[in-house]
Structure 1
């Protein structure tokens, strides 16, 4: 085989034993998980804001960002559920480029997956300990989530992974909400098929074991826009798109109908400042139609300490994205306060 074994990685149970969660962190997660579940099941009318950098590239800057969120959360926690976006795996369309902290704990150095697994667990743990906020991550590699499955309060399956069988079946094992993004084609049926698969029980091979899952009743959709065959972005956050989704949810026998609107990616054509306008339009649609207010549970925003993005070089700016461009902190703070007023 054309494959070289670089190292034998520790079992998730062994890594968790070496880097355990404190009782305080476990209590924080249990409480937040209950609150988030109540939102998705309709018991709570709080609005979810999943916000953070495109990719978590530095522990100090990510934790500073999350600590700022925690301070802001004190002003809005009666109306909002803020979930920090700490994405440690970065999907690459061509396979080239920075693949996230799991691969490269130091972005300008060679990949080191063992160091990366340790780094992301330590970063997530530190973020919770300092801020009291549990976070979201992306399930890019289904088998890798076992290193963080006791920490996360939300997971997303990306546009390029949502048709993958292993992602769908692994999602059926989770006891936290999992958001299925529409594929890059924008096809709603593919996305809803993924939700249906995740909500059902399955038997399959996972990490060398024969497993049976319970099904995840909190699996739901994330609208992130799509692209046509010419590569032109087609947004799907407009009122007509939301009504189409509402209608399709009514036709499918799915539990806890819910949607999160991703304000960046193909919805904004990666024009990151457009996220402010897009969120405002989503909030307007919810206010206009009570059924949409029940369906649209939150928004996802790409945001960091500094706005825009930068190259990976020796002149990197602290707290500025090294992948897709993000809103800066000032815009983010204003936007979250606005959401709290209008949701």
Structure 2
């Protein structure tokens, strides 16, 4: 059983009761208000070491370099669909960290560490919302656990990726995250575009659930510009935030309700549309392809086949693919959520995931594909130089 400590909030509870607004017209549908300590309290209790700060800063720069074409490696964002077990997350990070060190010349590996899950209707909304998977919704514990897990991942030398769903969550966690995503359901949201404009990391916008790529392109353009909006600071105070704009926003092709969109034709069409629009260099240089979700019908066997198809195309010299996303865990498939002591260890409680042995095989194939693409590019460059000499 996880021993939860976390910052004390007894003073906050007393203040909330003393300053509560009269209930006649406010909080009519609120059953309870549970105070959560300000972000700074969590950061002070679970701080970053100098080595972890360097890891986060360096990996953000490296991801930006891949997205802009300054680094010819392939960005690979891989890990569980969602995190529900701190021990299994650390175990997975240890395995991935060992492989990352072997493949770092060809792949920039970032671990998926997703704590918030958008639901089409209702369901388990992630570790932050319900860390015990039992409907007790101890969000204070969930936030503390999320931060601790991110530190565990960083200690394995791994950058972390997550989806930003709630606009308040980043203040608690973003110092430990190297890459962020805005999901298909939120890609047209003004709130999330404003949020992305001020984030200190590259942000990927997924195409809408109906396959609309223009909405994600508009998000990249909007997020590259400055915004002014209400937010909170590290001390939990309401502030008016003024952002500079984020130059590292880009597109994620994740398929749609109508089917996949990872084909060579889909990528070419998306890039043509992006280059004709007002998006920045990162978005117009290439796309990230999510092999899960609509591109595989949420089937882990099919997802692995999608990754293999992408590897073959990369090896053949196809440009425009900056990165690949994979949902992977220790065990393949998925199971229904429930208390930890009732669950299969290392198996997803949300979407189906590729098992670790198959994941390792696929990552090695992607690394080999990058080497082949690099050799092909060098050969083409040499051939071009020789042709110019003869002329």
Interval containing the TM-score (normalised by the shorter chain): over 0.9
Indicate the SS of the match to 1:301: strand
Aligned to 1:231: none
Name which of 325, 330, 353 aligns with 1:326.
353
1:179-190 map, 5 Å:
179-190=204-215
Aligned to 1:282: 310
Name which of 225, 247, 251 aligns with 1:217.
247
Aligned to 1:51: 78
Does residue 21 in structure 1 map to residue 51 in structure 2? no
1:27-46 map, 5 Å:
27-46=54-73
Aligned to 1:121: 147
2:252–2:290 CA contact under 8 A, matched in 1 = yes
Q: TM-score, normalized by length of structure 1? A: 0.94
Does residue 262 in structure 1 map to residue 301 in structure 2? no
Indicate the SS of the match to 1:161: coil
- Following superposition, the deviation at residue 288 of structure 1 comes to 4.7
Q: For this pair of structures, how many residues does the alignment match?
A: 333
| Unmatched tracts of structure 2, length 5 or more | 1-27, 233-237, 371-391
Aligned to 2:37: 10
2:218–2:279 CA contact under 8 A, matched in 1 = no
Does residue 60 in structure 1 map to residue 90 in structure 2? no
2:311–2:365 CA contact under 8 A, matched in 1 = no
Q: Distance in 2 between matches of 1:284 and 1:251?
A: 28
1:134-283 map, 5 Å:
134-207=159-232, 208-228=238-258, 234-255=259-280, 256=282, 257=284, 258-283=286-311
Indicate the SS of the match to 2:333: strand
Question: How big is each residue's C-alpha offset from its partner over 1:188-216, in whole Å with a ceiling of 9 and x where there is no partner?
Answer: 11111111111111111123311111111
Indicate the SS of the match to 2:165: coil
- Following superposition, the deviation at residue 15 of structure 1 comes to 1.9
Q: Distance in 2 between matches of 1:311 and 1:5?
A: 28
Q: Distance in 2 between matches of 1:56 and 1:16?
A: 20
